[in-house]
Amino acid sequence: MEPLDKLAEIERLAKLPPIEFSAVREEAAQRLGLTPEQLDEEVAKVRQRLIPLEEIAAELAKLSPLAYDQVRVLKAQALGVRKKTLDDEVKKARHGAQTHQSGESLAPPPPEPWEDSVVGSDLLDGIYDFIGRFALVGSHGQVAATLWLVFSYLLDIADYSTRLTIISATMRCGKSLLLSILALLVRRPLPFSNISPRRCFAPLSWNIPRCSSTRSIPCRSSRASRSAPRNSVAS
C-alpha cells in the first residue's frame, strides 16, 4: 500500500466509533502490514491530532469560501493532514453552525411519558436486571448505573449533576458495551468520541440535553496520569 493511501486509511480508522474500530482492528492491521498494537498507536496519534483540528476547523468555517481557499493549503501543511481531511472537518463545522443557527437539536426528542402509572421499585429492578443481562459490572456497578439512568430524567429539577465514570483494569472488556446500554435508556443521549473540551461543552448552549457519553483515550498528561482505561459519561 502506498504511503499516502496508508495514511488515509489510518485517518479513516481514527474517525470510526470505538466499537466499529474494534471490529475491524485486526483485519485493518493485516491489510496495512502492521501489528494490532502498532495500529492502535498510529490511530491514537491521529486522534490526538484531530482534536485540535476540530477547533481550528471551527475557526476556518467562519471564513468565506474564497478566504478559506486562500489558506487551506498552508493550514493543512501546518497541521500535518491532507487537504481533503481539512476540507471535510471544515464542512462538518459549517454544518454544525447552520444547525445551531436553525435551532434544530442534534439529540433525539424527549421520550413520551408512559400511559399508565409506574411502580418505582419495579422500574428500578427492571433497569437493574436489563443492565446485568448484557454487562458484567457487579451489583454495585449495576446499582450505580441504574440510579444514574433514572437521575438523567430529573435534571430539570436538580441543582447539581453527577458524572458516571467507567473504569477497567484492561482494554476491550466491555466499557463501550456498557455505554451502548446506557445510551438506550438515558434521557435524550448525545454520544460522541474523543471530543475536545470546547466541543464537549458547546451543546450546553445549543438547547441540547446534558446527558452525553464520551470514550476517552489514555491521558498522557503529567497532571492527570491514569493507568486504567476509562470511559466517562457526563450528565
First to last CA, the chain: 44
Supply the Cα-derived Rg of the chain in whole angstroms.
20
| pLDDT for the residue numbered 135 | 87
Q: Tell which wins on pLDDT, 223 or 159.
A: 159
Q: What is the mean pLDDT of residues 163-167?
A: 82
Q: What confidence tier does 100 reach under pLDDT thresholds 50, 70, 90?
A: very low
Does the pLDDT at position 207 exceed 80?
Answer: no
Q: What pLDDT, on a 0 to 100 scale, did the predictor assign at position 63? A: 86
- Supply 104's cell numbers: 434544530
Least confident interval from 22-31, 63-72, 105-114? 105-114
Higher pLDDT, 87 or 15: 87
**Structure confidence at residue 144 (pLDDT):** 92
> What is the pLDDT at residue 13?
87
Provide the CA 45 distance to its chain's centre, in angstroms.
17
Q: Is the pLDDT of residue 143 over 90?
A: yes
Q: In this structure, what C-alpha cell is assigned to residue 193?
A: 468520541
Whether residue 230 contacts residue 168, with contact meaning beta carbons closer than 8 Å, is answered with yes
Phi, psi of 109 (to 5 degrees): -65, 160
47, three cell numbers: 486522534
Beta bridge partners of 213: 191, 233
Conformation bin of residue 63: beta by default, left when phi > 0, alpha when psi is -120 to 50? beta
Q: Which of 109-113, 146-150, 201-205, 223-227 has the lowest mean pLDDT?
A: 223-227
This prediction has a pTM of 0.45
The whole-number average pLDDT for the span 170-179 is: 83
Higher pLDDT among residues 165 and 108, named by residue: 165
- Burial of 70-106, coded b for 16+ CB within 10 Å and e otherwise, reads eebeebbeebebeeebbbebbeebbebeeebeeeebe
Query: What was the pLDDT predicted at 198?
Result: 63
Q: C-alpha grid cell for residue 178?
A: 456498557
- Which of 28-37, 38-47, 224-233 bottoms out in mean pLDDT, i.e. has the lowest? 224-233
Tell me the CB-side half-sphere exposure of residue 154, using CA atoms within 13 A: 10
CA within 13 Å, CB half, 22: 10
How far apart are alpha carbons 14 and 11 in whole angstroms? 5
Residue 210 has pLDDT above 60, yes or no: no
